[in-house]
Amino acid sequence: MTSGPEQAGPSRPRNPPRTTSRIQDITEEKPPFGSRFLTEDADVWSQNAWDHVPPPEDQGEVIANALAKQHIAPVPEEERQKYNEKPARHWDNFYKMNAGNFFRNRKWLHHEFPELLQSAEPDAGPVAIAELGCGAGNAVFPLLAANKNPQLSLYAYDYASHAVKVVQSNPLYLEPPVGTIKSAVWDLSSDSLPPDLAPNSIDIVTLVFVLSALHPREWSQAIVNIHRILKPGGLVLFRDYGRYDLTQLRFKGGRLLEDNFYIRGDKTRVYFFELDELALLFTGSLAPTAVKNAPSEVKVEEEGDESETPPHTEPSTRVQSPQASETPSPRASTPITINAETQPSSTPPPKANGTSTSKTVQSTIHPILHPLLEKDTQSPHPLFSMEQLGVDRRLIVNRKRQLKMYRVWMQGKFRKLEPKADV
């Protein structure tokens, strides 16, 4: 984005292009260094976006008030089932209305996940990458356009048939300059593989704003499917909504399906994750406790807002790329055994004051994952090792209206564990 006219006075040096990830990894003490750190509150209106921003002191009150209002008027019990039936049709309607014009191309993924561009280098050799929940191809096509590797094979899957049609009609799909691309309809939460994809055949899976579109009872099958299609040592590149993101707090009455799980105006669903939930899903264990809070430093760059929210769209009604599908895991022919009948509480999470650590942690985790938390389930874990798990806390600024908007996203890298040799 370009800023408005400068006031008279000394000009500021232009920030260098961003070359590092925005993510504050929970295993590191310091955030990655960027172009400039916010040291004076008065500077907050000088840029469009600031990275690694800790929430303000009154954010806890803002969150509590927003959740309380949502819980007063949740989606009526008798209407919840219809929103969870055939969710693909709602994404189909979305892509019929918007085609490929809604989301910006996700070139920022090349900064966050350099493994993608490394796979596109001329001498990278045979690499297979699957984008799950491809939508209109906003992640796969920038990679295909940048590709110089003749042995790069790209796969783009979505459970919305109209989204796949949009991908298949793209000129890059019809005549890929280098490498190959194939797109097909596939439901990530199904119990079968795509007909063109064998188990243990994919090097990298991208899962960007996809898992949040699934019902919590579908998470386990999705993770098992991802594990199944990946080669041993294969990598999952993950990004999705974080707990108490601005989008979550802006939902009004009649949108709450379950705690932290909502229905949008276009009937698509969205969940807002905690770090521990993601760690449990992929590794079977809680996230490391070293650093779970954002640091006090913040950095800024001037490339513009790379969030998923398109221009002139209210965050509470915007839609993310639909969930794609994957396939069952080689180590487990059945989903991770978790109680799909467990229903989350319809009341806001309890405050931590006076509660034990275990109860506090449990209150932030969806009840469907509690068996994993308590280690009382027959689970195929560990399926993945954790190479990165972090939070992207960003302050988006509307300088004209003098508004501050706090965004929260989760990001991770998870590697499929090599099968253990029989002793």
Instruction: Provide mean pLDDT across the span 353-369.
Output: 73
For residue 24, the model assigns a pLDDT of 54
Burial class (CB in 10 A: 0-12, 13-18, 19+), 230: buried
E strands, 211-351, in order: 230-241, 256-258, 261-263, 269-271, 299-300
- pLDDT tens-digit map of 172-224: 999 999 999 999 999 999 999 988 899 999 999 999 999 999 999 999 999 99
Candidates 390, 319, 328, 407; CA nearest to 138 is 319
Whether the pLDDT of residue 141 is over 80: the answer is: yes
Q: Report the chain's mean pLDDT, rounded to a whole number.
A: 74
Instruction: Please report which confidence band the pLDDT of residue 23 belongs to, taking 50, 70 and 90 as the band edges.
Output: low
The rounded percent of the chain whose pLDDT value lies above 70 is 64
Angstrom distance (rounded) from CA 406 to CA 357: 27
Higher pLDDT pick, 374 / 90: 374
Q: What is the pLDDT of residue 384?
A: 96
Q: From CA 128, how far away is CA 140, in angstroms rounded?
A: 12
Q: What is the pLDDT of residue 29?
A: 54
pLDDT reported for residue 394: 81
pLDDT tens digits, one per residue of 246-298: 999 999 999 999 999 999 888 889 999 999 999 999 999 999 875 354 343 33
pLDDT score at 45: 56
